[in-house]
A and B are shown apart, each in its own frame.
Chain A
C-alpha cells in the first residue's frame, strides 16, 4: 500500500506517540516472525493504522519491551508484544503485498520487473499468513478492479469504490455482526480515499507512461501544475467526512490513547495529506507549530 495514513505526530501526546511507535515496531516484528524476515521491509503506515484500529477489538493489554532490531541497531526502541491485532495486521499485510505484486506483474513499465523478482517472496509470505479466505476474496476484488480499469472510464468513483471494498474486507476480516459492519465501513472509506489520493499523486507519472488514471482523462495538465486542483481536494475532503462518520462509530470504550491516535490520523494526518496532494515530494515533511486559530 502507499503510506498515506499517518497521524500528525506533533499533535499527539508523548505517551500516545510512544505507543504508536511501539505498535509500528510490534507489527514489523510480527512480520519478521510470521511471514518472513524480508517482508518487514515493506511495512507501511497504513498497516500500522490497521493494527491500531483492530486493537479496539482485542484484549487491550499488551506488553511493551525495549528491543533492538536491524534497522535501529544502536538505540533500543519500545516494541509491543502479545496482541492478536499486531499479528493480524502483519498477516493481512502479506496478503495485500502479494496481491499487489500479482497486479503489478500485469502492468507495463518499471514496476513489472520488480514485481517479478519479489513475487516468490510474497507468494510464500501470503501462504504463511494462513488467511485463505481473505486471500481468495482480495484476489476476486482486485480482479474486478482491474477489469474496470481496463475500460478506462473517466470517473474515479467506481474504481475507488472497488478498492474501498477490498480494504473494507481487510479491516472487517474475522469480525462478525455489527463490529464487521463498522470496521468494513472504516476500511471502505479509507480505501476510497487512498485510491483517489494515489491517483492524484501519480498524475504526472501516469500522464507520461500512459497508464490508466481517471484524473488524467478528466483534467488538463495545467490543472495539476501546482498540486491537485481544488475540486479534487474538495471531493477528497468529502470522502474524509464520510470516513470521520465511520470512525466515530468505532468501539473506543474508555481507551483515550487508541482513540486519540485514530482520530488524530483521520482528522489531522489525512487532512494534512490532502494539502500536499500532487506536489513534488519533499525530503522530510516538517510541520511548523499550529497557529493559535487552529488550536481552537
Chain B
C-alpha cells in the first residue's frame, strides 16, 4: 500500500489533530452527498474515500502502538529536548522523551514530559509528572516555579471578568466631573504661579 501520509497529504511529523483535520477535509471532499446524481464520479469518489479511510486507520493504528517511522533515532540529551520544547517542536520532543528507557528517567525527564503533556492539554497527566519531578528533586527551583504557575493559572482564570460592561474604557471627562477637573487644573496653575479661575 502507498504511504498513508502521502494519501492524506501531510508529513509524518504532523500532530494527531493535524492528521484528523486532514482526514476530515478529504472525507468531506469525497463525501457521497456531494456526488448525488452522478454515478461515475460517485464511484470514483467512493474508491478515493476508501483509500483515505484506510490510510487514516493505518496512521492511527501505528501511532497507537508507537511504531512511528523514524522512532529509533539516537537518544537526544535533555538540553536538546529543552530546545525542541522552546522552539515548540512538541512531537519531536515527545518522541525523543519516549526513546529514553524507563530506568534512565530522571527528575528532568518527568519535568520535560510534564511540559509536553501540558502543551497537548493533558492537564491531569502533566500535573502528575510534575509532582513526580518535584518529589524526586525537591530542591529544584524550576520545578517549584512551574508548579506554582500551574496553580496560578488554575486559580486565576476569569479573575478579572465581571461582565464586559464593567470594564468599559474610562472616558476622560464628562458632565459629572467637569467642575472637579477645572478646580484641579486651577490648583495646578496656582502652584506654578499662574491662575486659571481668578475667583478661587
The 8 Å CB contact of B31, one of A133, A144, A155, A271, is A133
A72 within 8 A of B: no
Q: Which of B17, B124, B155 has the most CB of A within 10 A?
A: B124
A256 within 8 A of B: yes
- CB within 8 Å for A237 and B163 given contacts A133-B31, A161-B122: no
- Interchain CA distance A25-B42 in the complex, whole Å: 40
The 8 Å CB contact of A133, one of B20, B33, B124, B128, is B33
Contact A244 B157 (CB under 8 A): yes
Residues of B within 8 A of A268 (CB): 158, 161
Question: Please, which residue of chain B has its CB at the minimum distance from the CB of A256?
Answer: B164
Chain A nearest CB, measured from B175 CB (Å) = 24
- Interchain CA distance A234-B118 in the complex, whole Å: 13
Contact B150 A238 (CB under 8 A): yes
A-B contact count (CB 8 A): 86
One digit per residue, 1 when the CB lies within 8 angstroms of any chain B CB and 0 when it does not, for chain A 183-212 equals 000000100100010000000000000000
Contact B158 A158 (CB under 8 A): no
A32 within 8 A of B: no
Contact B158 A244 (CB under 8 A): yes
Contact A295 B157 (CB under 8 A): no
Interface majority SS (helix, strand, loop, mixed), chain B: helix
Query: What range describes how many residues of B lie at the interface?
Result: 20 to 34
Question: Please, which residue of chain A has its CB at the minimum distance from the CB of B153?
Answer: A241
Residues of B within 8 A of A156 (CB): 124
Contact A237 B154 (CB under 8 A): yes
16 cross-chain CB contacts under 8 A: A11-B162, A136-B27, A144-B60, A155-B125, A155-B128, A157-B122, A158-B122, A161-B120, A164-B121, A169-B24, A234-B150, A240-B157, A259-B164, A267-B158, A267-B161, A296-B162
Chain B residues within CB distance 8 Å of chain A: 17, 20, 24, 27-28, 31, 33, 60, 117, 120-125, 127-128, 150-151, 153-158, 161-165
Chain A residues within CB distance 8 Å of chain B: 11, 13, 132-133, 136-137, 144, 155-158, 161, 164-165, 169, 189, 192, 196, 231, 234-235, 237-242, 244, 256, 259-260, 263-264, 266-268, 271, 294-296
